[in-house]
Amino acid sequence: MARAPTRAARRKAAPPTKAPKGADRPTPPGLPLGRSGRFHPPYGLGLWALGRWTKEDEARTRSSLDRALERNVPWLDTAEVYGTGRSERMLGDVLALRAEGAPRPFLTTKVSWEHLRAAQVRASIQGSLQRLGRSSVDVYLVHAPDPHVPIAETMGAMEELWKAGKIGAIGVSNFTVPQLEAAQAALKEAEIVVNQIRFNLLDRAEATPIARYCREHRIVLEAYTPLARGLLTGRYLGREKPSAEVRRYAHSMFEADRFAELQGTARKLRDLADEAKVPLPSIALHWLARQGVAPVFGASRPEQVDAVVEAWAIRPADAVLDRAEAIAGGRVA
């Protein structure tokens, strides 16, 4: 009677199973946050409702936030200036209602460019922590530089807050390379771990050298407006026109001549997405992520959060992202 093969023999006889490419590499928990040994989540939701903050806008932003928490969006970004504190307060209220043990999102908030004197920085963090209902935030960012306040004064105050444990790390936003260098030089022990700037497939000329610098200096680059205010979801390519408000807050992107050119590029990207059978926002977000950049998207409705979370889960092939790069760089007719 034939004996059943031993387990070792079975293993030897079995054809080698080929793991899908990359399957043996664990997904990193995010981007290394300076020398801290901690990680920055790879993407997140921003809680700015343009300049509006009407009751309806606030209710819609709140339902987007609820949906983002349900769907475990790992990072939430706000600022003291968003709705003059309303965004932080709303976030604090929502987090306070979370069940014990629910995953804690990574939190970033910002001190206004109008509050960069040392005493103002100290007062601003107190206000933010109070509204957020927290004893600290993961990263506290200088929202934008103020040429009238010496960067050393602001950074000295930020370092004090870091030493006191009120902020987990120091970040900046809308800083150029020379401004980043000056900010880092002003710190004695702490490091700049984040710079948040506008960066997307359609608006990348100014951001590209900053992105290179941040990569070389292990600074996490957070990209705001990653969906070009909806243009990179395929919106505004048909009959829908951007509202005056969207145009106002989209900087030069939606100005007449430039907008027509960007629409042309967005159409090519949409055709690429259709051909590759992936959502256009997957290309927009993963084009950034592939460069080690963390996109922070906006959403004024829960359905937009769903669409972005689902798009994030689809990583287009490198060849598709290479083609997107060529289209955005004007190298495809």
Ligand X SMILES: NC(=O)c1ccc[n+]([C@@H]2O[C@H](COP(=O)([O-])OP(=O)(O)OC[C@H]3O[C@@H](n4cnc5c(N)ncnc54)[C@H](OP(=O)(O)O)[C@@H]3O)[C@@H](O)[C@H]2O)c1
Of the pair 46, 316, the CB lying nearest ligand X is at 46
Nearer to ligand X, 124 or 173 (CB): 173
The region of 130-138, 148-156, 220-228, 323-331 touching ligand X under the rule CB under 6 A is 220-228
Name the minimum Å distance from CB 18 to ligand X.
36
Lookup result for tokens 């592939």: 290
Establish if 296 lies at the interface with ligand X (CB under 6 A): yes
Q: How far is the CB of 196 from ligand X (least distance, A)?
A: 5
Site for ligand X contains 227 (CB under 6 A) = yes
Exposed e or buried b per residue across 206-238, where buried means at least 16 C-beta atoms within 10 angstroms of its C-beta: ebeebbebbeeeebbbbbbbbbbbbbbbbbbee
Q: Which of 43, 82, 224, 236 is catalytic?
A: 82
Which residue is listed with tokens 């022990």? 189
Per CB under 6 A, 224 contacts ligand X = yes
Structure tokens at 170: 């120091």
Residue 294's beta-bridge partner residues? 222
Tell me what percent of the chain is helix, strand and coil, each rounded to the nearest 5.
45, 15, 40
Q: Which stretch binds ligand X (CB under 6 A): 124-132, 151-159, 202-210, 219-227?
A: 219-227
- The CA–CA distances, whole Å, from 94 to 83, 130, 327 equal 16, 14, 41
Single out the residue of 327, 297, 328 nearest to residue 310, CA to CA. Answer: 297
Residue 47 touching ligand X (CB under 6 A): yes
* Contact call for residue 175 and ligand X (CB under 6 A): no
User: Are residues 198 and 207 in contact, defined by beta-carbon separation less than 8 angstroms?
Assistant: yes
Give Cα separations from 121 to 6, 47, 112 (angstroms): 70, 21, 9
Q: Is 154 in the site for ligand X (CB under 6 A)?
A: no
Does the annotation count 213 as an active-site position?
no
Minimum gap (Å) between residue 88 Cβ and ligand X: 11
Residue 233 touches ligand X, criterion: CB under 6 A = yes
- At residue 294, the 3 state secondary structure works out as strand
Angstrom distance (rounded) from CA 331 to CA 265 = 11
Closest CB to ligand X among 194 and 272? 194
- In the chain the beta strands, taken as DSSP E runs, fall at 31-32, 39-40, 44-46, 75-77, 106-111, 139-142, 170-173, 192-198, 220-224, 293-297
Of 201, 261, 211, nearest to 232 by C-alpha is 201
Token duo for residue 158: 């930020």
Report how far residue 330's alpha carbon sits from residue 160's, in angstroms, rounded to the nearest whole number: 46
**Is residue 64 at the binding interface for ligand X, with CB under 6 A as the rule?**
no
> Does 259 engage in binding with ligand X (CB under 6 A)?
no
Considering only 157-165, 228-236, 251-259, 260-268, which stretch makes contact with ligand X by CB under 6 A? 228-236
Residue 13 or 205: the one with the smaller Cβ distance to ligand X is: 205
Q: Does residue 298 bind ligand X (CB under 6 A)?
A: yes
Does 300 interact with ligand X (rule: CB under 6 A)? Answer: yes
**Of 41, 42, 48, 171, which one interacts with ligand X (CB under 6 A)?**
48
The smaller minimum CB distance to ligand X, of residues 237 and 246, is found at 246
* By CB under 6 A, residue 46 contacts ligand X: yes
Which residue number has the CB closest to ligand X? Answer: 46
**Cβ distance to ligand X smaller for residue 36 or 243:** 243
Which residues are tagged catalytic? 82
Contacts to ligand X by CB under 6 A: 46-48, 77, 143, 173-174, 196, 224-230, 233, 235, 246, 296-300, 304, 307-308
